Structure 1
Amino acid sequence: MPFVNIKTPEGALSRSQKEEIVHRATDMLVEYFSEAARPHTMVLIEEVKDGGYGRADEIFILPDAYRAKEDG
């Protein structure tokens, strides 16, 4: 079973953006493994809370300008 795990800052993606990522990642894997992989493909989008990730000793907080706008 193909498995994709995407980690993103909490609040960075709207629900519709997450749905699009799931569909596009699934389509990409189907291109490689054939249509038979579609019902078995898992795409997990994990949202990491602000301050829960960093790089080079810097803890990241998602700026308001990069937060997703609510769907609707």
Structure 2
Amino acid sequence: MPFVNIKTPQGALSTAQKEEIIHKTTDMLVEYFSEAARPHTMVLIEEVLDGGYGRADEVFILPDEYRAKE
């Protein structure tokens, strides 16, 4: 069973964008593992709260201009 875990800042993706990522990721994995993998493929999109991660020793807060417009 292929399993993909994607972490993204909370609010960065709309519901439609998440659906598209799930479908495209599943299609990509089916190319490698065959169509038999489709019903067993798990794509998990986890949203990380602002301030819950950092880069280069700096706590990250998603700027408003990068937040998804639902």
- Tell me the TM-score normalized by structure 1: 0.96
CA RMSD of aligned residues (A): 0.3
Identity of aligned residues (%): 87
In 2, Cα distance between the equivalents of 1:65 and 1:56?
22
Q: What are the residue-to-residue correspondences of 1:35-46 with 2, within 5 Å?
A: 35-46=35-46
Q: How many correspondences in the alignment?
A: 70
- 1:16 is matched by which residue type in structure 2? A
Match of 2:32? 32
- Runs of 4+ residues deviating >3 angstroms: none
Give per-residue Cα distances to partners, 1:38-62, cap 9 Å, x unaligned: 0000000000000001012100000
Q: Secondary structure at the match of 1:62?
A: coil
Structure 1 position 6, deviation (Å) = 0.1
Structure 1 position 35, deviation (Å) = 0.2
Q: Secondary structure at the match of 2:20?
A: helix
Q: Secondary structure at the match of 2:38?
A: helix
Q: Secondary structure at the match of 1:22?
A: helix
Unaligned runs of 5+ in 1: none
Match of 2:55? 55
Unaligned runs of 5+ in 2: none
- Tell me the TM-score normalized by structure 2: 0.99
